[in-house]
Chains A and B, each alone.
Chain A
Amino acid sequence: MFSAMLGEAWHAMGANRLRTFLTMLGMVIGVSAVVLMMAIGQGAEASVKRSISAMGSNLFIVLSGPPNMGGARSATGNAVSLNVKDAEAITELDGIASVAPISTGKAQVVFGSNNWNTDVIGTTASYLDIRDWNLTAGYSFSDSDVRSATRVALIGDTVAQNIFGDDIDPVGKTIRLKQNPFVVLGVLAKKGQSLDGRDQDDTIIVPLTTAQRKLFGNQIPGSVRQIMVQAQSDNVMVLAEENINGLLNQRHRIRDGADSDFSVRNLTALANSAAETTRTMSLLLGAIASVSLLVGGIGIMNIMLVSVTERTREIGIRMAIGARQRDILMQFLLEAIGISIVGCLIGILIGVGGAYAVNAFTGTEIIIATHTVAIAFGVAASIGIFFGFYPARKAARLNPIEALRYQ
């Protein structure tokens, strides 16, 4: 009997194809919007999460210069107030895993006839551990390279591509930075975009001392603009931040209540809030798309009500020849569910296709999770049941005598 009823529902859907198609269109648009928005939202979430893990975990960055200065203000980091000794002192604090003082600049890098402008990071060997950054070739420089300011460099993937191309192995080659020859010790693994969209692979890492003495110069020996600090775990982040503030205030002789000449930023917290924002955006997109699904459901209900009225006489005939109320209910319910499920399947195809198209044309990362598709399908089927139930019950409760007389 159930298969006969499925057949009936299929026939009824085919009886007025244009109307069935238009009703379905509401579901198609709703479901494809949900699938597409979820794919884009989850893609964005995943790319943010990857950026966060590429950044390294439990990170602080200590910047020289006060968070805000009275009177004339300058950008944080302009006044050079930190130095290598501060970094060494931070290492001794409780809860600190690793510390890397950083001095950065820009330089033109030359190899043979190729040249490229890139960021140069002068730092210590611990920087790679803090950033959780591996090498794909060669090896890293050591503390002794930092002490003796050797001209060695680790190059990022983008730099390697631009000045060496695919054919040449960069390791052991000599490149020139501001006319100084540097030996390439290693090639950094690809990290991709940072949270703010910069290419993290467009960089060269050299020993801190080399950067300061041979590339950019330094007014006060040993001073640095930034110190990157990694806490031992997530739990000690707060304690570590307090300890760093206390230590540096003491070392820099900042009196209580006076402005400090440095600032400590919790990068992990910033990253997490970025992730939170993306997740909210993704939910919002899904919610907006769901509204169209709801509208599609109302469209189904509307058409089913029209259909029940149009087929009142048919309902009367069916009742006269022995259909029970629940047979009539089931017939109209199956029709509503049929419309929503077929609409949903088409919507899923279009949504998935649309997501791949977005990916192909804009390069935006997309993720089509099986469970999102399954949820979209379940929701569509439920909408069919929910919005189909009222018209179906209306049909089932018709009085057979009146229904038979209906013209």
Chain B
Amino acid sequence: MSEQTSNDIAISDEVMIELKGVNKWYGEFHVLKDINLTVRKGERIVICGPSGSGKSTMIRCLNRLEEHQDGQILVAGTELNNDLKNIEFIRREVGMVFQHFNLFPHLTILENCCLAPIWVRKTPRKEAEATAMKYLERVKIPEQAHKYPGQLSGGQQQRVAIARSLCMNPEVMLFDEPTSALDPEMIKEVLDVMIELAQEGMTMLCVTHEMGFAKTVANRVIFMDGGQIIEENEPEEFFHNPQSERTQLFLSQILNH
């Protein structure tokens, strides 16, 4: 099914992320219920659903910002468990972009981008700075390199956050509602960067309500509700022919407003 994507991006058979029977509770509250998902290298997956449906929790489990209590998560062939080595390995290979950017306000844009390559990957400073400038050019803000995050607009900050993650040369990028905290006029500049990234073949999991983005680049859309994956389909089918009642209701609410 994934070979018939709308924009012909190659997807290999190599499995990048695998969730098997994952369950998670916050105290008594069952947030993730028996999640099974396989993501192959090069796939772009959009996850949507009402708030509280567990979509953010699910992708935050993929780099251990949240801990799952049951089931198995494999990322880039490594199992996420209590072994710190595995967690650190996976975090190096998985980039994450947050709703509130979470740039480091005491460091310049360039330092934000170089920090992890220098301290985690042990890249020499010169090389790390060159890489950082390359990515800052890709997200179209090289001229801001020596400013502090607080001097940038929300859209610019989010593009820096994307560049910062890319500097670690990750295998997978996770996006946790990357445009939800942005003013409407800035959403497009961030989405453009994400679309470009997708077209270059990055494996991406995006929690987002930007259905236009889903239609353009996703090769699968996942709908979650009540901690479960309710429906999973290609975007074309998902939007025009939703199977479950809950999906239909959700789509009617977000598309017809």
Q: Do A and B come from one complex?
A: no
Residues of A in contact with B (beta carbons under 8 Å apart): none
